[in-house]
Structure 1
Amino acid sequence: MYGPLAETIRTQRLVLEPLAVHHADEMAPVLDDRRLHRYIGGEPLTRDELRARYAHLVAGPAPFHQEYWLNWIVRRARDRQAVGYVRATVTPAARGFTVTPPSTGSTVRPGPPRRIASVAWVIAMPYQGFGFATEAARVLLDWLLAHGVHDVVATVHPDNRPSAAVAAKLGLRRTGETTGDGEDVWRLPHGTPPT
């Protein structure tokens, strides 16, 4: 493991609970809606398929990958109803540099490697439009930045206007880059905390 473990995170309306394999039992019906997969791809997974997927995610990547996976189930705080999930894959990026001020001789030294997080949020269809995605993703970004992540990116299907709106509300900016499958790359400007 190359980073912090997911921990329970609370907001006024939500609880982000670290993913466990048993969550598949309640999440399978929450995610069982073809409309939800319109932009994220694939099809709804059966309970057994989701259980296998969660077992893989909980196990994490092979150690030589030098990345870590963080996954949370998003619940409403008032009734503990699961409404979706958020996730982050954190990897080391190129080493940064430390510049010593001119008053001390102005030298440039290699700094610690910077961590970059690729984030995503999915809220089930009946719970969309209540600000849950923005609230959950905002607290995720705050948590990541507090745990040593320096750069945050998200990829959003160009036709997924609600998800693009969430990215913009979080302070991410469209970069003009696209992924191999045509999704727009959004990035949190360096040094900018989420709003």
Structure 2
Amino acid sequence: MAELPVWTERLVVRRFAVGDVAAFAAYRSDPEVARYQSWEAPVSEVDAARLVAGFAAAEEGAPGWFQYAVERDGVLIGDIGICLHDNRMQAGLGFTVARPYQGQGYGTEAVRCVLDRVFGTGVRRVSADCDARNTASAKLLDRLGFRREGRRVQHTWAKGEWTDDLLFGLLAGDRPSRADEPAIYACRPNVVVRDLSASLRFYRDLLGFQVGWRWSDPAGRFLAEDDPDEPGTALVFRDRAHLILTQVAGAHPTRLHLDVNTTAQLDDLFDQWSRRGATIAEPPSVRPWGMYEMRLHDPDGTVLRISAHPN
């Protein structure tokens, strides 16, 4: 599984961090947000800090709950929980979106991103349930292809009343096609730097970027075998700007990373571009860092890496 964070068209899906406590406490304290959820509002900052610390320390892909933070333009706007069964083949789903960001498709976008990751690990089934009066959540699950599997009448005692539960399930093989979505949805320039540590300090400490990940394993380099040695690669982001920084000795051509929704779309691009005469330096394959990628060069030597999460 590729490292977090993950970028969708408008969002960043990432781990929780200490700096999320205030925003997390704020939206979870909103009575309208908490209305059909299991917790009681308000949520104190002490309780929020305890929860966020647990989220940040959890291991993604381990049995039990893992909570993803959902960010829009540098602001925490919600969270998505996945509860992986001990057999690692089925999971439960929960999600929350802050009220100012509801009704704009952010929940659907973020949950789809998380489902991509979960099903990409071999999970066969994801289940969800919601209060029968929570029509917004039910519609979100409908949009993502979940099947309505039943209604448990007066099954849950919550906040002083008995409530009906709607039951949903989604099998990996039943996910709706995304062939009608645009293939390339983001471009991340790769900036060649002399000193990766100094560049990270500049972007993080002076410009306020966050560090998404660092990669130093020679077996998983983003360069080709005949490229210069690469002591390290990192991704930094702020708002909707994402830069990959790569430390390389000497001159090196510009590189761009183009993100594609699905492996099928990437294969289609490979077929199209090959037929039109483009020289593909590296055909599509799963790389050591978990991405399905191909590599080609433009006439000036710019390196294009086209990437999709394996699905």
TM-score (norm 2): 0.49
Deviations 1:28-68 (A, max 9, x none): 1233211111111322311111111223344449xxxx723
State the identity %.
28
- C-alpha distance in 1 between matches for 2:121 and 2:69: 19
**Aligned equivalents of 1:192 and 1:143: distance in 2?**
16
Pair 14,43 (structure 1): closer, same or farther in 2 beyond 3 Å:
same
What corresponds to 1:52 in structure 2?
Answer: 50
- The 1:30/1:171 distance shift into structure 2, 3 A limit, reads same
Q: Residue 118 of structure 2: which of 135, 140, 144 is its match?
A: 144
Aligned length: 166
Q: Is the 2:81–2:93 Cα contact (8 Å) retained in structure 1?
A: yes
SS across alignment from 2:174: coil
1:193 maps to 175
1:92 to 86, 100, 117: 86
Residues 1:194 and 1:27: Cα distance change in structure 2 (over 3 Å) = farther
Using the TM superposition, give the Cα deviation of residue 82 of structure 1 relative to its aligned residue in structure 2, in angstroms.
Answer: 1.2
Equivalent-residue separation in structure 2 for 1:81 and 1:69 (angstroms): 23
Match of 1:72 in 2: 68
Give yes or no for contact 2:69–2:80 (8 Å, CA) kept in 1. Answer: yes
CA deviation vs aligned residue, 1:129-171 (integer Å, no higher than 9, x gap):
1001111111111110011211101111100000000000010
Shift of 1:121: 1.1
Q: Which segment is superposed worse, 19-28 or 129-138? A: 19-28
Q: Which runs of 5+ in 2 are unaligned?
A: 157-163, 178-311
Name the residue aligned to 2:142.
Answer: 168
CA distance in 2, matches of 1:59, 1:83: 20
CA distance in 2, matches of 1:43, 1:6: 33
Q: Is the 8 A contact 1:39 1:157 kept in 2?
A: yes
| CA distance in structure 2 between the aligned counterparts of 1:15 and 1:26, rounded to whole angstroms | 15
User: Taking structure 1 as reference, are residues 130 and 120 closer, same or farther at Cα in structure 2, changes over 3 Å only?
Assistant: same
Closer/same/farther in 2, CA of residues 29 and 190 from structure 1, 3 Å limit: closer
Query: Deviation at 1:186?
Result: 0.4
Amino acid in the other structure paired with 2:105: G
Instruction: Please say which structure displays the higher CA radius of gyration.
Output: 2
Residue 18 (structure 1) shift? 0.9
Aligned ranges 1:13-52 → 2 under 5 Å: 13-41=10-38, 42-52=40-50
Runs of 4+ in structure 1 displaced over 3 angstroms? 56-61, 177-180
Gaps of 5+ in 1: 94-113
Report the RMSD for the aligned CA atoms in angstroms: 2.3
Q: Is the 8 A contact 1:6 1:70 kept in 2?
A: no
Matched with 1:155 is 129
29-38 vs 49-58, which moves further: 49-58
Relative to structure 1, the CA distance from residue 141 to residue 25 in structure 2 (aligned partners, 3 Å threshold; closer, same or farther) is same
Q: Residues 58 and 178 (structure 1 numbering): CA distance in 2 closer, same or farther, change over 3 Å?
A: farther
Change (3 A) 1:21 1:116: farther
Alpha carbons 1:22, 1:51 under 8 Å: kept:
no
Give distance in 2, aligned partners of 1:133 and 1:167. Answer: 10
Q: TM-score, normalised by structure 1?
A: 0.76
Judging by fraction of residues, say which structure has more helix.
1
* Counterpart Cα distance in 1 of 2:176 and 2:121: 14
Closer, same or farther: CA 147–190 of 1 in aligned 2, 3 Å:
closer
Question: Relative CO higher for 1 or 2, CA cutoff 8 Å, sep ≥ 6?
Answer: 1
Q: Specify the code of the residue in structure 1 equivalent to 2:102.
A: Q
